[in-house]
C-alpha cells in the first residue's frame, strides 16, 4: 500500500512532540552546536527490514539538512549485521531523532518479518495471507504498509472500506437474509459485501444471500474443506480465527482463498536495530 504523506507527517509530528517535549537536555548541554557526525543503522538479527522511508522522514523532520542514505531495498531477507542506512550531518540532530526513527524501524521490521514467515509457510498453496484491523491505534497505515513489505496482503483499512457483516450485526439484524437485504438496499453497487459465519449450517443461507466473500470464523481444517467443496468456487472464502504458524499450512491446504491473521500486527517482536556514530 502507498503511504499517505499527510497522515505520515501527522504521525511523526505527534511522535516528536511526545518524545522531545521542550528539548533534549542531554544532547543540547553536551554536544557542540556545530558538531558533525556520520552514523550507521544496522540490523542486529536476521529479518525483513521495513520503514526506511519513515525513518528518513523522521530525521528530515528534525533537521532537513541531514543526509539519509538507504543502502538496500525494503522487503529483502537480511542477515544480522547488515547495514540498512547511513545518516550524516548535525550530531545533535542525529541523536535527537535516533530513538524515534529506530522505534518505527524496529516495530515495522518485526511486522514485515512475521508476515514473511506466514507467507513462506503457505507458499505451496494458492491461499493469500492478509492482515486485520487489529493494529495499534493511529498507526494502522504504517503497520499495514509493513505487512505488504513482508509479502502479505492487506484486508480492509477501516470501517468505510467494505461491508463486513459480523456475528453481532447478525444478532441485531435477526438473520443473514435480513442483514444482507438491508445492506444491499442502502449501499452502492460498487461496494463489496463480506459475511462472517461460524457454523457450516449457515453456509447455504450465506450463498443464497449472494455476498461477495464469506468469512469462515474459527472453523477446523475439516470444516473448511467441507465449505470449500460446498461453495465450489462460487464466492471467495476467507478463513479467520486462531491462525498460528503451527496450523496455517493445514488451513491453506483446505483450499480457502484467503487467510486473515491478526497476529501479523498485534503479536509482534520488534527487530533489534541499532544506530552507531562512526
Binding residues: 99, 132-134, 156, 166, 196, 217, 240-242, 261-263
- Catalytic residue, from 14, 38, 69, 99: name it: 99
* Cell 550531518 found at: 89
Helices (H) and strands (E) counted in the chain, each on its own, are: 11, 12
Residue 44 falls in the annotated catalytic set: no
- Catalytic residue, from 77, 153, 166, 226: name it: 166
For residue 101, CA distances in Å to 73, 197, 223 come to 17, 42, 45
- Catalytic residue, from 117, 131, 194, 196: name it: 196
- DSSP character string of 187-243: S-TTS-EEEEESSGGGHHHHHHTT-SEEEEET--HHHHHHHHHHHTTSSEEEEESS-
* Cell 542486529 found at: 44
SS3 273: strand
- Catalytic residue, from 63, 205, 217, 272: name it: 217
Q: Name the binding residues for substrate.
A: 99, 132-134, 156, 166, 196, 217, 240-242, 261-263
Alpha carbons within 13 A on the beta-carbon side of 255: 13
- Catalytic residue, from 134, 184, 192, 225: name it: 134
Residue 153 falls in the annotated catalytic set: no
Residue 217 falls in the annotated catalytic set: yes
Residue 273's φ and ψ, nearest 5 degrees, are -135, 135
Enzyme catalytic residues: 99, 134, 166, 196, 217
Amino acid at each position: 500500500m502507498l503511504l499517505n504523506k499527510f497522515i505520515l507527517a501527522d504521525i511523526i509530528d505527534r511522535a516528536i512532540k511526545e518524545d522531545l517535549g521542550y528539548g533534549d537536555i542531554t544532547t543540547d548541554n553536551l554536544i557542540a552546536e556545530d558538531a558533525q557526525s556520520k552514523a550507521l543503522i544496522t540490523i542486529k538479527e536476521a529479518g525483513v527490514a521495513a520503514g526506511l522511508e519513515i525513518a528518513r522522514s523522521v530525521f528530515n523532520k528534525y533537521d532537513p539538512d541531514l543526509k539519509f542514505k538507504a543502502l538496500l531495498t525494503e522487503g529483502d531477507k537480511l542477515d544480522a549485521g547488515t547495514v540498512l542506512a547511513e545518516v550524516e550531518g548535525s550530531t545533535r540532530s542525529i541523536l535527537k531523532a535516533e530513538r524515534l526513527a529506530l522505534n518505527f524501524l524496529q516495530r515495522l521490521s518485526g511486522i514485515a518479518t512475521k508476515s514473511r514467515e506466514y507467507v513462506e509457510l503457505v507458499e505451496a498453496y494458492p491461499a493469500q495471507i492478509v492482515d486485520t484491523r487489529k493494529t495499534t491505534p493511529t498507526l494502522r497505515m504504517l503497520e499495514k504498509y509493513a505487512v505488504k513489505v513482508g509479502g502479505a496482503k492487506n484486508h480492509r483499512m477501516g470501517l468505510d472500506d467494505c461491508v463486513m457483516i459480523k456475528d453481532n450485526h447478525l444478532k441485531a439484524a435477526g438473520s443473514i437474509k435480513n442483514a444482507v437485504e438491508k445492506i444491499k438496499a442502502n449501499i452502492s453497487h460498487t461496494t463489496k459485501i463480506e459475511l462472517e459465519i461460524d457454523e457450516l449450517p449457515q453456509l447455504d443461507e450465506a450463498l443464497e444471500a449472494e455476498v461477495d466473500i464469506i468469512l469462515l470464523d474459527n472453523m477446523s481444517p475439516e470444516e473448511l474443506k467441507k465449505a470449500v467443496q460446498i461453495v465450489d468456487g462460487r464466492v471467495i472464502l476467507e478463513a479467520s480465527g486462531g491462525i498460528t504458524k503451527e496450523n496455517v499450512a493445514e488451513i491453506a491446504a483446505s483450499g480457502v482463498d484467503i487467510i486473515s491473521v491478526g497476529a501479523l500486527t498485534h503479536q509482534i517482536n520488534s527487530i533489534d536495530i541499532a544506530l552507531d556514530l562512526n
